[in-house]
Amino acid sequence: MPIAVDDALAPWLLLIFKLPVKQASGRVEIWRKLKRYGALAMPSAGYVLPNNPTNRERLEWLATVIRKYKGHASVVQAQSLGELPSATLKQRFIEARSRDYELILRELRNSKPAQRKLSRIRKRFQQIVEVDFFNSPFRSRVETVFARLDEAVKLPEGGSLQSVVKRKYLNRTWVTRPRPGIDRVSSAWLIRRFIDPNAKFIFGAKPERHPKAIPFDMFGPQGFGHRGDDCTFETLRKEFRIRGRRVAAIAEIIHDADLEDEKFGRREGVGLDRALIGWAQQGVGDEELLRRGIDLIEGLYQSISEPENARRRMDNE
């Protein structure tokens, strides 16, 4: 997990350095290290990172290496950096990590990587997570694809949890990962509307820290999540035998928006998904993201009813 920035300190670290022209290999080494650390190049000079103990240690070490190459280097703590306000810098860090995550998504979705290659991709993903200082909303997309691949390996075709007794899931707390996206907010809507109207939702990376809560869309075999080709919404719908044409339509919409495999050819969820990503990038908190997302799905559910009723009336005329 990324180390949080200490708000009591100046929020930014700036590495300013100069290497002799003949030190081409040293320049490449420094650039590779800065890229791995998630540093952003400044328009004027230097590289910037959020101010936390790990980043300070890394930049001070790089400054020592630069001096060893007969160069000059300084690590500066800064409250602001010229014409770039902190909000703009944070957004640039989010955009940089989002591009990194999108490259991994493309590699995972355009092929079925062998286990050895998948391990390398997972390792690269963890390296990106380490420098995802401001929680790019695309991180959860990658986690979802990895979870889907893991479930495909662990569960045989047609495998399912033991039969569901609905009473067991009433008046419960449900836990899911932070930064909820389209699958998780729609699953929360489904839980509260059809399974557990008094459901409470909490967020955490490790379900074992909340032993009394029911996990959904989490890593590991427990709880409800991606199963085979199904997203979490579809898994919940099937396990709890939730019928109805409107819910079936929403299941198709969420599947295509979450997995982006165009299985059902439904595009309605793309706008909802982009709205959630936009709110996450603006720093909207997890609980508020979930609340807004549930409202969006309820609106979608209500919007489907009128056309279906209208079609029934036309069929009867």
Q: Are 183 and 307 in a shared domain?
A: yes
**Digitized pLDDT (tens) for each residue of the chain, 317 residues in all:** 343 444 456 899 999 999 888 878 888 999 999 999 999 999 878 999 999 989 999 999 999 999 998 999 999 999 888 778 888 999 999 999 999 999 999 888 776 667 677 878 888 998 998 899 998 988 888 888 887 776 665 544 444 433 344 678 888 999 999 999 999 999 999 999 998 888 999 998 888 888 899 999 987 667 899 888 899 999 999 988 898 899 999 999 999 999 888 899 998 898 999 999 999 888 899 999 999 999 999 999 988 864 444 444 434 43
Two tokens, residue 148: 């889907």
**Which contacts of 101-107 are long-range, i.e. CB under 8 A and separated by 24 or more positions?**
101/125, 101/128, 101/136, 101/138, 101/139, 101/141, 101/142, 102/138, 104/128, 104/142, 105/138, 105/141, 105/142, 105/145
* Contacts of residue 88, Cβ cutoff 8 Å, sequence gap at least 6: none
**Structural domain boundaries enclosing 33:** 12-84
104 occurs within a structural domain: yes
Residue 141 has what pLDDT? 85
In this structure, the answer to whether residues 101 and 55 fall within a common structural domain is no
Task: Tell me the C-alpha distance between 67 and 73, whole Å.
Answer: 7
Do 297 and 240 have their domain in common?
A: yes
Mean pLDDT over the full length of the chain: 84
CA 159 – CA 157 distance, rounded (Å) = 5
CATH number at residue 41: 3.30.70.240
- Report pLDDT for 243: 86
Decide which of 84, 114, 144 is a domain's last residue. 84
> Is the domain of 111 the same as that of 187?
no
Q: What is the 3-state secondary structure (H, E, C) of the chain?
A: CCCCCCCCCCCEEEEEEECCCCCHHHHHHHHHHHHHCCCEECCCCCEEEECCHHHHHHHHHHHHHHHHCCCEEEEEEECCECCECHHHHHHHHHHHHHHHHHHHHHHHHCCCCCHHHHHHHHHHHHHHHHCCCCCCCCHHHHHHHHHHHHHHHHCCCCCCCCCCCHHHHCCCEEEECCCCCHHHHHHHHHHHHHHCCCCEEEECCCHHHCCCCEEECCCCCCCECCECCECHHHHHHHHCCCCCHHHHHHHHHHHHHHHCCCCCCCCHHHHHHHHHHHHHHCCCCHHHHHHHHHHHHHHHHHHHHHHHHHHHHHHHC
Q: Can you say how many angstroms the Cα of residue 128 is from the centroid of all Cα atoms in its chain?
A: 12
Domain assignment present for residue 4? The answer is: no
Say what the pTM is.
0.54
User: Is 278 within the bounds of a domain?
Assistant: yes
Q: Are 46 and 17 in contact (CB under 8 A)?
A: yes
Token duo for residue 295: 């409202």
For the chain, the domain total comes to 3
d(CA 275, CA 271): 6
8-60 pLDDT, tens digit per residue, is: 568 999 999 998 888 788 889 999 999 999 999 998 789 999 999 899 999 99
Residue 6 lies in a domain: no
- End-to-end Cα, the chain, rounded Å: 61
Give a yes or no: residue 254 inside a domain: yes
- Report pLDDT digits (tens) over 176-185: 999 999 999 9
Report CA 274 to chain centroid distance, whole Å. Answer: 13
Are 217 and 290 within one domain?
yes
Asked, for residue 159, whether it belongs to a domain, the answer is no
